[in-house]
Homo-oligomer: A and B are copies of this chain.
Amino acid sequence: MAIATPRPIQFHNKPIAMAHGAGGEATRQLVEGLFLPAFANSLLDSLADAATLLPPPGRLAITTDSFVVHPLRFPGGSIGELAVNGTVNDLAVSGATPLALTTAFILEAGTPSEILRAEVCAMAAAARRVGVPIASGDTKVVEHGRADGMYIVTTGLGVVDARANLSVARVEAGDCILLSGPIGNHGMAIMLARAELDIEADIRSDTRPLVELTLALVTRLGDSLKWMRDATRGGVATVLNELARDADLLVMIEEEAVPVDDAVRGACELLGLDPLQVANEGQFVAVVAADMVDAALAALRAVPGGERACLLGEVSRGAHSRVAARAAYGGMRVVDMLIGDPLPRIC
């Protein structure tokens, strides 16, 4: 990998000013004083208009995500860490390994440099964890009151594993639905961090890269892995509804099987929220051939952070394009896609 040791940062004690986005001398100071030393990689160091790289053979995956989370920092993570993990995870659930990221900052004038520095360092650490270089970037500054501290947009380029054959068209009745771990932690952590609620609970965002988990499934299952999606905005409920609609099949899950931490469940009950509709930043749903469920769960559970992977339900005929949850006592409910936005700017 093209990532080097971070170098000393030389960008201190100055609030962000409009000139930092003007492309002239102040932009140069920001780029050379902060971005280059923190991100430290040979692709970025060239400072050309575009980074160039020779990709390994195979299909490429490309994806973009914007991050406007409020507040910028919250228990378990921050916007910079999200901005790397979120984009890396869109590559991961596409069966791809990240090759390079690019980043665009839209900064609000007056933002203290310490706040920007903290997020740049969080991005650098998250990228380093995955071994992916931040290869190119751009910075714009808008007037005070025209943003909210900062917005970050990251794009990820990856190479699709040759063993992956993912398509919703391959999903068929009888396939099983797996979930990587407990849900609702990110959304609930953000909600509590906003301090508008009178709930005290130790809930931390689950933001993390999913590459090792998805790669474990691709490696172990090959063709028997049919579909993956990370359950971010809109939660697992929205992902399952997309699956049901796009496959035109019934998605049936067991309510009891859904892993939810006690603190999250308690907060959801107080607020009248369905954990299935609460956002995650470190969980994904996978559809696998039924005869490979045990192998898939074993592969996931062997990866640190995958211990609580579980069988969530199955895909079947009847009531096409719907998602239903079966309760332990035998009742059944329809699980809807998220409607409206109960918690804006969650990522």
Interface size on A, residues (CB 8 A): 77
A25, B339: Cβ atoms closer than 8 Å: yes
Query: Known interface pairs A60-B54, A340-B22. Does A66 touch B232 (Cβ–Cβ under 8 Å)?
Result: no
| Contact partners of A234 in chain B: CB under 8 A | 22-24, 27
Residue A102 contacts which of B51, B64, B67 (CB distance < 8 angstroms)? B64
| Contact partners of A68 in chain B: CB under 8 A | 21, 106, 140, 142
Query: Known interface pairs A136-B62, A155-B155, A233-B22. Does A52 touch B94 (Cβ–Cβ under 8 Å)?
Result: yes
A148, B146: Cβ atoms closer than 8 Å: yes
8 residue pairs, one from A and one from B, having the closest CB atoms = A23-B233, A24-B338, A22-B341, A50-B63, A64-B102, A155-B155, A50-B61, A23-B234
Residue A21 contacts which of B53, B103, B143, B341 (CB distance < 8 angstroms)? B341
A340, B136: Cβ atoms closer than 8 Å: no
Contact with B along A129-145 (1 / 0, CB 8 A): 00000011111111101
| A298 is an interface residue with CB less than 8 A from chain B | no
| Contact partners of A28 in chain B: CB under 8 A | 337
Q: Supply 12 further A-B pairs (C-beta < 8 A) apart from A50-B156, A53-B60, A63-B102.
A: A18-B341, A21-B345, A22-B344, A24-B238, A24-B338, A49-B91, A49-B229, A49-B230, A50-B96, A52-B62, A62-B157, A66-B104
Distance (Å) between the CB of A341 and the closest chain B CB?
4
| A74 is an interface residue with CB less than 8 A from chain B | no
Query: Known interface pairs A94-B52, A142-B148, A146-B148. Does A103 touch B160 (Cβ–Cβ under 8 Å)?
Result: no
A228 closest partner in B (C-beta): B49
A/B interface sample: 26 pairs, CB < 8 A? A17-B341, A18-B341, A19-B340, A21-B341, A23-B338, A26-B341, A49-B63, A49-B94, A49-B229, A49-B230, A50-B61, A50-B63, A51-B62, A52-B94, A54-B58, A54-B60, A55-B60, A62-B155, A64-B104, A65-B138, A66-B139, A66-B153, A102-B155, A142-B344, A146-B147, A151-B151
A141 closest partner in B (C-beta): B344
| A90 is an interface residue with CB less than 8 A from chain B | yes
- Compute how far the CA of A238 lies from the CA of B48 in the bound complex, rounded to whole angstroms: 14
Q: Which residue, A64, A67, A142, A160, has most C-beta atoms of chain B within 10 A? A: A64
Residues from 214 to 263 in A contacting B, C-beta threshold 8 Å:
229-230, 232-234, 238, 246
Residues from 153 to 177 in A contacting B, C-beta threshold 8 Å:
153, 155-158, 160
| Contact partners of A143 in chain B: CB under 8 A | 344-345
Interface majority SS on A: helix, strand, loop or mixed?
A: mixed
| A105 is an interface residue with CB less than 8 A from chain B | yes
| Contact partners of A27 in chain B: CB under 8 A | 233-234
- Compute how far the CA of A89 lies from the CA of B49 in the bound complex, rounded to whole angstroms: 9
Distance (Å) between the CB of A289 and the closest chain B CB?
20
| A309 is an interface residue with CB less than 8 A from chain B | no
| Contact partners of A52 in chain B: CB under 8 A | 59-62, 94, 96, 160
